[in-house]
Structure 1
């Protein structure tokens, strides 16, 4: 039987505080080393090489994988990059807006929680929003588990986005176990964020990942279990 909503929120809060305390005890050198391993593990995957459009978060100043090297790699590869922007008028909603290059990225001011965000406009026009053909959606978290459950920061941005996102029906031309019907949900994690012998508390509104990329490698969800 599922836990009552109030109880689930309390459990999530307790786990979130515990993991967050561990993450903020990591040194910048430890995060940098793990970031390099996570980035290398992702960049060598067939699903990255064959992707054309990538949605990637811009990381907080600490406590998670630093996505700056990955963002650089996406832009240098010629892929189209989209990054989140929180909706200032609608609580809990975010859109993914296009980044047009390194010079564009360098102009982004820090927004909520010190995370850089793009403006709505670019060179006098409206900045392109996410399309229905995102090949990869890279997702942050406080913690993941080996059942591909995700514990976010408690604001619901990603779960709402993934619920509303109109996934394409085309099949990506990927290889074997990495064949996805839609743009896969890829969790990026420091080793301390991948729980061992423990599941993160979730309910039916919480989206699971298709792949989790950590410093020691990747784990992938069986194709039959993906949605």
Structure 2
């Protein structure tokens, strides 16, 4: 294990202890505040194709209200799908409505995931030609004020974003805006999250007390 890997492992352990101490009501209250801030943001209003994770039962921002709001807004929603046949690979597949969402079976780590087919046809992927993600909402273990993110260590998001951004850049297109959803206890001071060169920085960190990086996000779109 490298020194960087050891630092990340230690921080994950520290954060796990911190997050376990939060009550369900506290997480729900913060999640509601974060959802309100995101829905009121100009970059959300401008977006058409959005990806958002389906949250775990504990330890991260609950996205259920945000997911419902995205579907009601008429935007196109994509959610993560782990490829169990190819280690470390993740795609984003389209959700076709609330009924579709409710029918998802549990996937990796018990998180609901869409099947590759919907009503007998192949489900649309964010990587399909003609599909341009404007916005990706990301989970994480910890974030800091220099916009760094500590994930769970599998590298799914960093790999997907690197591949997706490269394909868009080759066509002269911008990468999606990267918006982290973070509980108050997950936001650390600048420089406290150890990062490697391949770790993507966030454009915005949405917490219950405000949006970090909001000005930069507004000027980039």
Q: TM-score, normalised by structure 2?
A: 0.91
Task: Give the drift of 1:182.
Answer: 3.2
Task: Give the drift of 1:167.
Answer: 3.0
Q: Which residue of 2 aligns with 1:33?
A: 29
More moved, 81-90 vs 127-136: 127-136
- Is the Cα contact below 8 Å between 2:79 and 2:92 reproduced in 1? yes
- Is the Cα contact below 8 Å between 1:167 and 1:183 reproduced in 2? no
Q: Which residue of 2 aligns with 1:140?
A: 139
Task: Give the drift of 1:109.
Answer: 1.2
CA distance in 1, matches of 2:13, 2:156: 19
Q: Which residue of 1 aligns with 2:151?
A: 152
Task: Give the drift of 1:24.
Answer: 1.4
| Equivalent in 33, 39, 42 of residue 43 of structure 1 | 39
| Equivalent in 186, 201, 205 of residue 212 of structure 1 | 205
**What secondary structure is seen at the aligned counterpart in 1 of 2:189?**
coil
Write the deviation string for residues 32-73 of structure 1: whole angstroms up to 9, x where unpaired. 000000000100001101111001000111010000000000
CA distance in 2, matches of 1:146, 1:157: 22
- Is the Cα contact below 8 Å between 2:60 and 2:183 reproduced in 1? yes
Write the deviation string for residues 62-93 of structure 1: whole angstroms up to 9, x where unpaired. 01000000000000001000000000100110
**What secondary structure is seen at the aligned counterpart in 2 of 1:167?**
helix
| C-alpha RMSD of the superposition | 1.7
- Is the Cα contact below 8 Å between 1:83 and 1:98 reproduced in 2? yes
**What secondary structure is seen at the aligned counterpart in 1 of 2:188?**
coil
How many residues were matched structurally? 211
CA distance in 1, matches of 2:193, 2:35: 24
CA distance in 1, matches of 2:39, 2:182: 15
- Is the Cα contact below 8 Å between 2:31 and 2:62 reproduced in 1? yes
Bigger proportion of residues as helix: 2
| Equivalent in 10, 16, 22 of residue 14 of structure 1 | 10
Task: Give the drift of 1:114.
Answer: 1.8
Task: Give the drift of 1:199.
Answer: 1.9
**What secondary structure is seen at the aligned counterpart in 1 of 2:198?**
coil
1:129 is aligned to 2:130: no
Q: Which residue of 2 aligns with 1:203?
A: 196
Q: TM-score, normalised by structure 1?
A: 0.88
CA distance in 2, matches of 1:167, 1:62: 34
CA distance in 2, matches of 1:50, 1:184: 11
Q: Which runs of 5+ in 2 are unaligned?
A: none
CA distance in 1, matches of 2:190, 2:133: 32
